[in-house]
Chain A
Amino acid sequence: MFTGNAARLVIDASYLLVAFLFIFGLKQMSSPVTARRGIIWAGAGMLIATVVSFAYPGMHNYPLILAGIGVGSLVAWWSGKRVAMTDMPQMIALYNGMGGGAAAAIGAVELAGGKAHGSVLLALAVIGGIIGAISFSGSLIAFGKLQGLIKKSWRFVGQQALNVAILVVMLAFGAWVVLSGNGSPAAVLVFFVLALVIGVTMTLPIGGADMPVVISLYNALTGLAVAFEGFVLGNAAMIIAGTVVGSAGTLLTQLMAKAMNRSLANVLFSGFGETAAAGGEVKGAMKPIEAADVGVMMAFAQKVIIIPGYGMAVAQAQHKVWELTQLLQDRGVLVKFAIHPVAGRMPGHMNVLLAEAGVPYDIIADLDEINGEFATSDVALVIGANDVVNPVARTDKSSPIYGMPILNADQAKNVVVIKRGQGAGFSGIENALFYLDNTRMLYGDGQKAVSELISAVKSV
């Protein structure tokens, strides 16, 4: 049929353009200068893809399709505009889960409708369906954990064995669907329910601190699921975009796990994020200091390095920190921000939070850039960070964080730590930095302490 072929040609040509726009957009997103344009290019690609897909030959159910797009878009647009920057990781998890769910739905429709022909396509539909369903339910659990809706971790003896058992039964049903050549709706249904269950039981035992790595993993998995369902539908745009995200997401997951000094297997199967680790005893005493003294110290410094942690964002102190920075800059002090890869809740999250407060990205340095500079800095101001500046990671082999790359704050002439009280940090490990001779503790709520510093610097 001529019109059908012509439509196909237009669609295929458009998909080529769409694939180009996606890859070009992602490329642009790899530099802070062009990043904003990158997402707009990719967005244009998505719009084109959506519009031309209405022209697919033999399509019907248009009102349903339009209604579905309308409902999904409105809810996501509304929630995406409202979410606070501190809650961004769980929002990404939620949207990612939706993508996984969509990929699983495509697999289900193709299998239950008997649309996928041949064992290769059936197998691809089944595999894409499994991955998509796991990503869907797993991402929802990750969202619930980071949002504070799920507080327990549900660990019990024999849990891994149970997971393996469910996995085996699910794969058996998957194999049955492929081998029998026609997906009986009941078999397909059981199969998808089991895949959803695995996503839940896999994610529940993982602690909150490890969740970013898991979200990144599910992001890569959704990409793969989309690529597999793209094979089933013969849709090049889905294959390319899904595969690009699958490989990029895998790399990103590895980078994150490495920054946390964990292997991916360790994150998925051990459950570190919750258990309080003991660690060695630290000798000496913490030495307190008053805000006025810190103000003088910083006002007459040549170089100050600020090390923010998630605690700063929780205290909503980032705007005050930027105000303090500007005051110091006006006095001719060189101020830099040092960001550990896992500051915030996922790599780069702290940069987003600082950017929101107005801190320009060119005074923010990452670990490799800044670590050589601590020795030549007069003050290192630690606010809301703990494990990422703990020198035992370099020295104490018995410590659970041994080997993790840290910021060398201890090498600065003076270290000032803003901290609520004397307790141990998030991971329960004592911080040797707090006991060093060149370290002073400024006790108090992050926002209040920085406000005091601001008035101290002003009155110098």
Chain B
Amino acid sequence: MEGIIAVYIFMLAAFTGYEVISRVPVILHTPLMSGSNFVHGIVLVGAMVALGHTDSTLGKVIGFLGVVLAAGNAVGGYVVTERMLEMFKSTGQRKPQKGSH
């Protein structure tokens, strides 16, 4: 990738992250931290590529550890975020549930 283009991407992405979060109500801060934690699980693709292109034993060991950790970040982040967000319901969504008990 061209160096300067990468810097442009970096700058625009930084503003995007700031803007997306700045309008979030406090009630969603914990799920959102968890959600952003999931998003950096994209490190998995980097770990895959690093392991996929290494030949030394040391490289394979570290690369394998990287893939395990990255997969844990992505999957764990998804599971806990989804579990938290699933519970957020409004009064309207609650009522039918209350009747069915």
A interface residue numbers (CB < 8 A to B): 18, 22-23, 25-27, 29-33, 35-36, 38-40, 42-43, 46, 49-50, 53-54, 56, 58-62, 64-65, 67-73, 75-77, 79-81, 83, 85, 88-89, 91-92, 94-96, 98-99, 101-106, 108-110, 112-113, 115, 120, 136, 185, 215-216, 219, 222-223, 226-227, 229-231, 233-249, 251-252, 255-256, 259, 339, 341, 344, 346-349, 351-352, 355-356, 358, 360-364, 366-367
Contacts and interface: CB of A to CB of B under 8 A. Distances in A.
Contacts of B58: 112, 185
Given A59-B48, A72-B67, 13 more contacts: A26-B20, A29-B24, A40-B82, A69-B48, A88-B84, A98-B72, A105-B66, A229-B43, A238-B45, A242-B42, A346-B33, A351-B27, A361-B88
Contacts of A339: 26-27
B75 to A, nearest CB: 4
B42 A30 contact: no
Q: Which 9 A-B pairs have the closest CB atoms?
A: A72-B71, A105-B66, A68-B67, A80-B79, A76-B76, A348-B29, A59-B52, A247-B17, A102-B70
Nearest to B18: A247
Nearest to B10: A243
Grouping DSSP codes into helix (H, G, I), strand (E, B) and loop, the B interface class, with mixed when no group exceeds half, is helix
Contact of B87 (A65, A101, A255, A355): A355
Interface in B73-92: 73-91
A42 B34 CA distance: 12
B80 A91 contact: yes
A367 B83 CA distance: 25
A229 B46 contact: yes
B12 to A, nearest CB: 8
B17 A91 contact: no
B48 A240 contact: no
B40 A231 contact: no
Contacts of A68: 47, 51, 64-68, 71
A30 B13 contact: no
A73 B20 contact: no
Residue with the highest number of chain A CB atoms closer than 10 Å, among B26, B38, B73, B77: B26
A95 B80 contact: yes
B62 A105 contact: yes
Interface string B1-37: 1010010011001111110111111111111111111
A360 B62 contact: no
A240 B42 CA distance: 10
15 contacts: A29-B24, A30-B28, A59-B48, A61-B54, A80-B76, A80-B80, A92-B33, A95-B72, A98-B70, A112-B58, A248-B17, A248-B20, A252-B33, A255-B26, A351-B26
Contact of B38 (A46, A104, A351): A46
B85 A36 contact: yes
A88 B80 contact: yes
A65 B53 CA distance: 11
A102 B28 contact: no
Contact of B9 (A76, A89, A239): A239
A99 B43 contact: yes
Q: How large is the interface on B (under 10, 10 to 19, 20 to 34, 35 or more residues)?
A: 35 or more
B26 to A, nearest CB: 5
Given A30-B21, A110-B50, A244 B74 contact: no
A7 to B, nearest CB: 12
Nearest to B24: A30
A49 B29 contact: no
B100 interface: no
B47 A106 contact: yes
A46 B65 CA distance: 19
Contacts of A70: 71
Given A36-B88, A69-B67, A244-B20, A46 B50 contact: no
B27 A50 contact: no
Contacts of A53: 44-45, 48-49
A239 B6 contact: yes
Contact of B14 (A88, A112, A243, A355): A243
Nearest to A46: B74
A361 B27 contact: yes
Nearest to A19: B13
B31 A240 contact: no
A81 B39 CA distance: 19
Contacts of A40: 82
Contacts of B40: 96, 99, 219, 222-223, 226, 241-242, 245
